[in-house]
Amino acid sequence: MNISFSFTRAGRVLPLAALALALTTGAHECEHDGPPPGSCEVGGVIYEDGMGGVPSPDGCNTCVCSAGALTSCTEAECPPPGGACVVGGVTYPDGARGIPAPDGCNSCACSAGALACTEIACTPPDGSCVVRGITYPDGATGVPAPDGCNTCSCESGVVTGCTELACAGPACSVYGRSYADGWAPAPDGCNTCACEDGQVSVACTEIACATPVIEACTAWSAPFTSDAFDLNGVAVAGDNLEVSVAYSGGCANHYFRLCYEPAFLESNPVQVELRLEHDGQGDPCEAYPSETRAFDLRPLAAAYNAAYGASGGTVHLRLGEGASYTF
């Protein structure tokens, strides 16, 4: 008995052989569905192998599609998204909080492309230098010089090895050192004041500052004669030396700096000579203000430990009536 099969396609009856041919043809047609070999798909768009101008994943550069991969991308710097902030090469979206501040200890929030930061006083790492509110690690180069045009190195907490280029414009003088017209350091050592036509203004920034540090006297290269002042007392509070001073004036910024002589005096305990200097900026007023200034003694402790191979000790500070510092 002979049995034959037939199927209907689009209103026509097809014999089995014709159906097989139709299915085979359809299978070949399906094999060509999808992107061409070697192409790249980006954002739902297919780019042929060898095509340039393909959008990069960063959204602002372009690439070449090569064998199914994006290559030879341009490397233009992409602007941050609207309202974003870029800190240390990292992009933070508008509204982000907890962003590390440049000083390394405060934190910030990003608001419409600007940073709003906390202002707690930061303790700089051992051996680092703080210049204009920015902390530079021990060994750093390119540290801005106080004169505003030269650069220095940071060595064991001291800004030293500065270049000596001549700075243009009328300058202000603090401790015999010239500062470019436009700014000068504030008495606290980290804020800045306006320098106008050679005069340091009392108009200064007001960011929170770490305590000024004691320096080695050998770091004071500029010749300077201290202005008169009265030293009414000294006291050690933790790692700080607090000095009570009074002076004639009231119309200008008054600067005080403290240094130690690197040669320790052998006794029990070891002693060290301190020098406190005052720059009254030629203040013509005749009031007699008094105040207490504090200085961080940790650079002195580090110098003692290095000299004696110790990890702590006691040093008698020879300034005024004297005080002992244990660390």
Phi, psi dihedral angles at 299 (to 5 degrees): -60, -35
CA nearest to 251, candidates 200, 176, 205: 200
Residue owning tokens 């800045």: 192
Residue 284, judged by CB atoms within 10 A of its CB (0-12, 13-18, 19+), counts as exposed
Quick one: pLDDT at residue 113? 79
Domains, the chain, in order of start with CATH, read 85-117 (no CATH), 124-210 (no CATH), 211-327 (2.60.40.2370)
Per-residue pLDDT tens digits of the chain, which is 327 residues long: 455 544 444 444 445 444 444 444 444 444 445 678 888 988 888 888 888 889 888 778 889 999 989 998 988 777 677 778 877 778 888 888 888 887 667 788 888 778 888 877 666 667 888 776 677 888 999 888 866 678 899 988 888 888 887 766 667 777 777 776 667 788 877 788 888 777 787 778 877 777 888 988 877 665 668 899 999 999 999 999 999 999 999 888 899 999 999 899 999 999 999 999 999 988 889 899 999 999 999 999 999 999 999 999 999 999 999 999 999
CA nearest to 245, candidates 253, 237, 234: 234
Does residue 148 come out as left (phi exceeding 0), alpha (psi in the -120 to 50 range) or beta?
A: left
Quick one: pLDDT at residue 221? 62
- Note whether 292 and 236 are within 8 A (CB): no
CA nearest to 117, candidates 144, 145, 97: 97
In Å, how far from its chain's centre is CA 191? Answer: 15
Quick one: pLDDT at residue 163? 87
